[in-house]
């Protein structure tokens, strides 16, 4: 049987490993890597829809971009059903928790706009019903391509299957707001190949999603990060010395951790427009550590590559754990080797008293971290909760070498532009 890294051959690079030893250094509630408590009296963006994964409009260099003074975000969105008999419990009350938990199956891409980088106004659906080829429109990235306002929306078309796709449209502004036009033809780009990236046939719980295209600041080429799992039949992976790392005596037992096989994938474009892609071996693998490294993204700072990815407590392997939140790794060149930030990888986790308060963090190049509110306890015991489905307070972090520090907290959903493009 091939080891996990042998699968990827010698060229062009070997994936970096997030090891079990690294993960043993993860500690919840360190104030420098913990998101401040979110109060249960948070405001909601909308009483009609839930929102979760938030995708600020940006350019290929990663800069969050406004157009003609309008900030724009895309969100995964689903209707709230307070009056639907399907979500009314036996006492006649709206079961918002069940409605919220069901949202992934009906996720659609919506957009919002704002003059202030907060107080978002709902623009509407990006694609009309029937345009996207699958039931679910899952996360990705909207890219402003030029001063004409052309936008490539990369996203994941899910159920059936999981395909990384893109759809082109245009952002149009007036004095009163923003609209999205076009977004009528979805182009499939690629799917998991079963050789480097696990397929549904190899594992029904596979992950293959969340495209994040970017231009490499050094070689100028167009690449894309995405979430994957390492190829191979479920249960066939090995958690060997390399994946375990340098653990203390007594920590050699890996239990059933061969089932956790997350990786951060990368692809390179064969053309300028990003219509033709070649998958490359993953940048980072977490075999034996964690089963999900979601929404991977970069911050390019001080000549380094800061790779961020979100993960959950429930996706950790036996014998290791950590909070829901965003984790990070740093390298001097695109293909690594990557070293976990703060020794462990943890950059911003939920406090253990409110383990599900936020998720789907996106670290922007200005050090601001946006996320959504999932659920916040409303009583001491944590049995009563308030469901969010709305933007969380933005957190400021400072990135210094191989360390990060929480330094500030801002308003709910504060996503200020880093540059403004005047449309022609
Ligand atoms: C992260 C995530 C993404 C996925 C979406 C589905 O919150 O799991 O990986 O695209 O949510 O709703």
323-357 burial, b at 16+ Cβ within 10 Å, e below that, comes to bbbbbbbbbeebbbbbbbbbebbbbbbbbeebbbb
Q: Is the pLDDT of residue 9 over 70?
A: no
Q: Is the pLDDT of residue 120 over 60?
A: yes
Residue bearing tokens 């979100």: 310
Q: Is the pLDDT of residue 64 over 60?
A: yes
pLDDT above 90 as % of the chain: 96
Asked whether 156 lines ligand 1 (CB < 6 A), one says yes
Residue in 291, 294, 324, 391 annotated catalytic: 294
Q: What is the average pLDDT across 179-205?
A: 98
pLDDT of residue 236: 98
pLDDT of residue 293: 98
Question: What's the CATH superfamily of 4-419?
Answer: Glycosyl hydrolase domain; family 43 (2.115.10.20)
For residue range 290-348, what is the model confidence (pLDDT) as tens digits? 999 999 999 999 999 999 999 999 999 999 999 999 999 999 999 999 999 999 999 99
Q: What is the average pLDDT across 28-32?
A: 98
Asked whether 291 lines ligand 1 (CB < 6 A), one says no
Q: Is the pLDDT of residue 243 over 90?
A: yes
C-alpha of residue 365 to centroid of ligand 1, in Å: 22
Is position 41 annotated as part of the catalytic site?
no
For residue range 163-181, what is the model confidence (pLDDT) as tens digits? 999 999 999 999 999 999 9
What is the number of the ligand 1 atom nearest to the C-alpha of 292?
Answer: 9
C-alpha of residue 54 to centroid of ligand 1, in Å: 10
Residue among 51, 52, 53, 350 to mutate when testing ligand 1 (max atoms within 8 A of CB): 53
Average pLDDT, the chain: 97
Asked whether 292 lines ligand 1 (CB < 6 A), one says no
Cβ–Cβ < 8 Å for 239, 258: yes
- Give 5's pLDDT tier (boundaries 50, 70, 90): low
Q: Is the pLDDT of residue 284 over 70?
A: yes
Burial class (CB in 10 A: 0-12, 13-18, 19+), 78: buried
Alpha helical stretches, state H, 55-145: 96-101
For residue range 381-407, what is the model confidence (pLDDT) as tens digits? 878 999 999 999 999 999 999 999 999
**Both tokens assigned to 302:** 């001080």
Asked whether 55 lines ligand 1 (CB < 6 A), one says no
Residue among 76, 310, 388 to mutate when testing ligand 1 (max atoms within 8 A of CB): 76
Residue nearest to atom 8 of ligand 1 (CA): 294
C-alpha of residue 232 to centroid of ligand 1, in Å: 22
Residue nearest to atom 3 of ligand 1 (CA): 139
C-alpha of residue 280 to centroid of ligand 1, in Å: 22
Is position 119 annotated as part of the catalytic site?
no
Asked whether 152 lines ligand 1 (CB < 6 A), one says no
Backbone angles phi, psi at 96, to 5 degrees: -65, -30
| Among the listed residues 225, 162, 206, the one whose alpha carbon sits nearest the alpha carbon of residue 15 | 225
Residue bearing tokens 């059936």: 160
Cβ–Cβ < 8 Å for 406, 397: yes
Q: What is the average pLDDT across 116-121?
A: 98
pLDDT of residue 7: 72
Sorted by where each begins, the domain ranges of the chain are 4-419
Asked whether 209 lines ligand 1 (CB < 6 A), one says yes
Residue among 209, 292, 389 to mutate when testing ligand 1 (max atoms within 8 A of CB): 209
Asked whether 166 lines ligand 1 (CB < 6 A), one says no
C-alpha of residue 389 to centroid of ligand 1, in Å: 13
Query: Count of CB atoms within 10 A of residue 2's CB?
Result: 12
Residue nearest to atom 7 of ligand 1 (CA): 360
Asked whether 139 lines ligand 1 (CB < 6 A), one says yes
Contacts of 376 (CB under 8 A, 6+ apart): 38, 39, 40, 42, 354, 357, 385, 386, 388
pLDDT of residue 279: 97
What is the number of the ligand 1 atom nearest to the C-alpha of 310?
Answer: 1
Asked whether 138 lines ligand 1 (CB < 6 A), one says yes
| Among the listed residues 348, 347, 370, the one whose alpha carbon sits nearest the alpha carbon of residue 417 | 370
Q: Are strands 16-17 and 277-287 parallel, antiparallel or unpaired?
A: parallel
pLDDT of residue 381: 82
C-alpha of residue 96 to centroid of ligand 1, in Å: 19
pLDDT of residue 8: 77
């Amino acid at each position: 049987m091939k080891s996990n890294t042998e699968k990827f051959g010698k060229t062009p690079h070997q994936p970096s490993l997030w090891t079990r030893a690294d993960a043993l250094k993860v500690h919840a509630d360190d104030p420098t890597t913990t998101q401040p408590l979110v109060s249960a009296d948070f405001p909601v963006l909308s009483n009609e829809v839930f929102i979760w994964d938030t995708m600020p409009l940006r350019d290929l260099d990663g800069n969050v971009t406004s157009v003609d003074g309008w900030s724009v975000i895309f969100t995964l969105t689903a209707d709230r059903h307070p009056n639907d008999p399907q979500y009314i419990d036996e006492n006649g009350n709206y079961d918002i928790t069940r409605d919220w938990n069901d949202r992934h199956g009906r996720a659609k891409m919506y957009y919002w706009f704002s003059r202030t980088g907060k107080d978002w106004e709902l623009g509407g659906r990006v694609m009309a019903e029937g345009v996207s080829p699958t039931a679910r429109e899952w996360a990705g990235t909207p890219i402003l391509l030029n001063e004409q306002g052309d936008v490539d929306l990369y996203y994941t078309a899910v159920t059936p299957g999981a395909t990384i796709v893109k759809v082109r449209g245009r952002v149009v502004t007036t004095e009163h707001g923003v609209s999205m036009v076009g977004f009528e033809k979805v182009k499939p780009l690629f799917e998991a190949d079963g050789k480097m990236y696990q397929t549904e046939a190899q594992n029904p719980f596979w992950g293959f999603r969340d495209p994040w295209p970017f231009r490499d600041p050094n070689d100028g080429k167009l690449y894309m990060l995405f979430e994957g799992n390492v190829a191979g039949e479920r249960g066939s992976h090995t958690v060997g010395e390399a994946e375990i790392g340098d653990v203390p005596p007594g920590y050699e037992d890996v239990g059933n951790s061969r089932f956790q096989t997350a990786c951060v994938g990368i692809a390179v474009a064969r053309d300028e427009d990003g219509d033709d892609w070649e998958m490359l071996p993953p940048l980072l693998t977490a075999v034996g550590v964690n089963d999900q490294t979601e929404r991977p993204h970069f911050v390019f700072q001080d000549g380094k590559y800061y790779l961020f990815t979100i993960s959950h407590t429930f996706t950790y392997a036996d014998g290791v754990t950590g909070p829901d939140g965003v984790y990070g790794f740093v390298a001097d060149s695109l293909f690594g080797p990557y070293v976990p930030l703060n020794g462990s990888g943890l950059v911003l986790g939920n406090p253990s008293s409110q383990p599900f308060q936020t998720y789907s963090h996106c670290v922007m190049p200005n050090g601001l971290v946006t996320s959504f509110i999932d659920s916040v306890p409303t009583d001491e015991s944590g049995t009563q909760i308030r469901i969010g489905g709305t933007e969380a307070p933005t957190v400021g972090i400072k990135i210094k070498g191989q360390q990060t520090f929480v330094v500030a907290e801002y308003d709910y959903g504060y996503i200020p532009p880093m540059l403004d493009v005047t449309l022609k």
